[in-house]
Structure 1
Amino acid sequence: MQVFVTGGTGFIGAHLVRLLLQEGYTVKALVRPSSNLQNLQGLEVEIVKGDLNDGDLAEKMQGCQYLFHVAAHYSLWQTDQELLYRHNVQGTRNVLAAAQQAGIERTVYTSSVAAIGVGESGKVVDETHQSPLEKLVGHYKKSKFLAEQVAMQAASTGQEIVVVNPSSPIGPLDIKPTPTGDIILRFLRQQMPFYMDTGLNFIDVRDVAKGHLLALTQGKSGDRYILAHQNLTLKQLLEQLAQITGLKAPQKAVPAWLPLTAAWIDEKILAPFGKSPSVPLDGVRMAQQPMYYDASKAVRELGLPQSSLTTALKDAVDWFVSKGYVKQF
């Protein structure tokens, strides 16, 4: 079976491509001309140059039975608002229309827990929860919600589409790195004297890849599945990293108003004068609410694995060190 993959050069996509090849699928990967192809080097993948909004995507998908639409633009900078909606919302609309035109039998669309929103006061939520659009913090979350609505609408008209909502993945091949990878890197570089009193759900990125394949074979069209594992406070995650590495974890939490003020000055006052902002305001606003999720549905209906986070963290640390992101500690 031939599979068309968008976002194959990214963190989740690279692991998905490897799993598909391992399972005997033939992979055709859509990559932008400017993409870093490091994560696909040495793999037997047919590279197709293009963009999510190209008019000839259906032609590029010809011969494929399945589609994994993993690609998305990720940014918490408010100046990237237009890009987020163009790539995530319009891009998803174009990709799904092309899939239908090309005769794709089944699509797995990669949404995010960001599209679901958060529970009040750190409450753990599942697929039945939905924060209203106006309560989703930042244009990234809003764009992912609207893109998921595009996928659900297409599924309601009979197109076979299963939606997966990964939480925060951890593991090797995080070339960009992702926000979670950035936390690990800053810890390794000892650039975290304080931490914010927040929490996230984490999962081994290889389990996320497996969850995509399980969604293709076991998922119900028009349903969404949270691909998640363990809810941890940021302090707990940093303490696990300390145990793995022998480095010291930050001991003091910083009050939310401090990074909020710094981010606001950075993005709103200094950035217009040419300074590259270092802390996104929306990122700090998001961190004020713990983001905890329940993956029971994916575990029960798909057989989503729940691998050790300690192993995922160790593998992430080893990969960052081996690739020179950080010096040996």
Structure 2
Amino acid sequence: MRILVTGASGFIGGRFARFALEQGFDVRVNGRRAEGVEHLVRRGAQFVQGDLTDPELARRLCQGVAAVVHCAGAVGNWGRYQDFHQGNVVVTENVVEACLKEQVRRLVHLSSPSIYFDGRSHLGIKEDQVPKRFHDHYATTKYLAEQKVFGAGEFGLEVIALRPRFVTGAGDMSIFPRLLQMQGKGRLAIIGNGLNKVDFTSMQNLNEALLSALLAGEGALGKAYNISNGTPVPLWDAVNYVMRQMELPQVTRYRSFGLAYCVAALNEGACLLWPGRPQPTLSRLGMQVMSKDFTLDISRARYTLDYEPKVSLWSALDEFCAWWKVQAPAKK
């Protein structure tokens, strides 16, 4: 089967494209950075460079493929709404339209459980617990993109959306690198009591979930699925595990949530006034994420997609640390 993987120059898209090649798929990849997909081209992937905000490019990419795994998108918690809308909603609209015009059979869309986040603690969140208002531009636009995908199901496109939480492993640039940098400078502190439980997802487990979504039967279609390792852990236990592996001091200092939140608000305010509006080193959302319980109910994925996570968080963190030890010297 020939498939298209968008966002293949990024962490998740790149890891899944490599996994799909290993499974024997004929893989076409798209990304903005050619150097980010060289390893995939060497393994036999067809690379088409370009920006998915161009609807004609999206249509060319979808020609002759049976399925699309859509991993491209704008991520983060800082920036203009227009940029998130362009990167998440407009790009997804173009991919959906291209799938319909080129008679692609299935679209697997990578969404995010950030749509659930409201700044409070939640345990065992189910897929239908979507708030009436979203916490930030990222969550808003990821949900709007999901709705574009599900709307295409009415026109015969087979659609599935996955919402994986805190994906980590070799190649992860979004979770632990910044924490390592902060701890290396002695600036990292536990926010709150340090007992808040969260879900992580091993990239290897997410690969299996994406594969299951590609091959799932009719009964699985038209739904969103929470994805995680299924075993919540105290967030700061995971952080300190990485610190030990990287031979850095443990995070032992505590900061009250109220104080950290106020400092983050001041930091955001200063960045809004600064020319270019640089991303703040501390954000209110970051303080909430680092101090609140946030776990997912993955029963739907287990029963309908036959998803069963096999790789533990600790194995995923070992994989990340081994990779980062190689990467970090090159980044200095």
> What TM-score range do you get, normalising by the shorter chain?
0.7 to 0.9
The alpha carbon displacement at 1:286 in A equals 4.2
The alpha carbon displacement at 1:192 in A equals 4.9
Residue 281 of structure 1 is aligned with which of 279, 284, 289?
A: 284
The alpha carbon displacement at 1:48 in A equals 0.8
The alpha carbon displacement at 1:267 in A equals 2.2
The alpha carbon displacement at 1:83 in A equals 0.7
Name the SS of the counterpart of 1:123 in structure 2. strand
Cα distance change of structure 1 residues 317 and 201 upon mapping to structure 2, 3 Å threshold: same
Residue deviations 1:52-76, cap 9 Å, x none?
Answer: 2212121221111110011110021
1:50 paired with 2:45, answer: no
Unaligned 5+ segments in structure 2 are none
Query: Corresponding residue for 2:295?
Result: 292
Q: How does 1:29-68 map to 2 (within 5 A)?
A: 29-32=29-32, 36-37=36-37, 40=40, 42-56=42-56, 57-68=58-69
Determine if contact 2:119/2:285 at 8 Å carries over to the other structure. no
Cα distance change of structure 1 residues 119 and 278 upon mapping to structure 2, 3 Å threshold: closer
Determine if contact 2:115/2:139 at 8 Å carries over to the other structure. yes
In structure 1, distance between residues paired with 2:188 and 2:223: 42
Name the SS of the counterpart of 1:68 in structure 2. strand
In structure 2, distance between residues paired with 1:155 and 1:184: 42
**TM-score between both structures, scaled by the size of structure 1:** 0.88
Unaligned 5+ segments in structure 1 are none
The count of residues paired between Structure 1 and Structure 2 equals 322
Name the SS of the counterpart of 2:162 in structure 1. strand
Cα distance change of structure 1 residues 146 and 325 upon mapping to structure 2, 3 Å threshold: farther
Bigger mean CA offset, 287-296 vs 52-61:
287-296
Determine if contact 1:65/1:106 at 8 Å carries over to the other structure. yes
The alpha carbon displacement at 1:26 in A equals 1.1
Query: Corresponding residue for 1:182?
Result: 178
**Equivalent residue letter for 2:241:** Q
Query: Corresponding residue for 1:194?
Result: 189
Query: Corresponding residue for 2:115?
Result: 115
Residue deviations 1:249-275, cap 9 Å, x none?
Answer: 222331122332222222222442237
Determine if contact 1:119/1:291 at 8 Å carries over to the other structure. no
**Equivalent residue letter for 1:81:** Y
**TM-score between both structures, scaled by the size of structure 2:** 0.87
Name the SS of the counterpart of 1:292 in structure 2. strand
Cα distance change of structure 1 residues 10 and 22 upon mapping to structure 2, 3 Å threshold: same
Q: How does 1:101-250 map to 2 (within 5 A)?
A: 101-117=101-117, 121-132=121-132, 134=133, 136-174=134-172, 177-183=173-179, 186-187=182-183, 189=184, 191-197=186-192, 198-218=196-216, 220-229=220-229, 230-242=231-243, 244-245=245-246, 247-250=248-251
In structure 1, distance between residues paired with 2:202 and 2:156: 32
In structure 1, distance between residues paired with 2:313 and 2:289: 23
Name the SS of the counterpart of 2:46 in structure 1. strand
Name the SS of the counterpart of 2:55 in structure 1. coil
Determine if contact 1:199/1:292 at 8 Å carries over to the other structure. yes
Q: How does 1:81-92 map to 2 (within 5 A)?
A: 81-92=81-92
Query: Corresponding residue for 2:253?
Result: 252
Cα distance change of structure 1 residues 307 and 192 upon mapping to structure 2, 3 Å threshold: farther
Give the share of equivalent positions with the same residue, in percent. Answer: 23
In structure 2, distance between residues paired with 1:234 and 1:321: 22
In structure 2, distance between residues paired with 1:119 and 1:267: 17
In structure 1, distance between residues paired with 2:39 and 2:268: 32
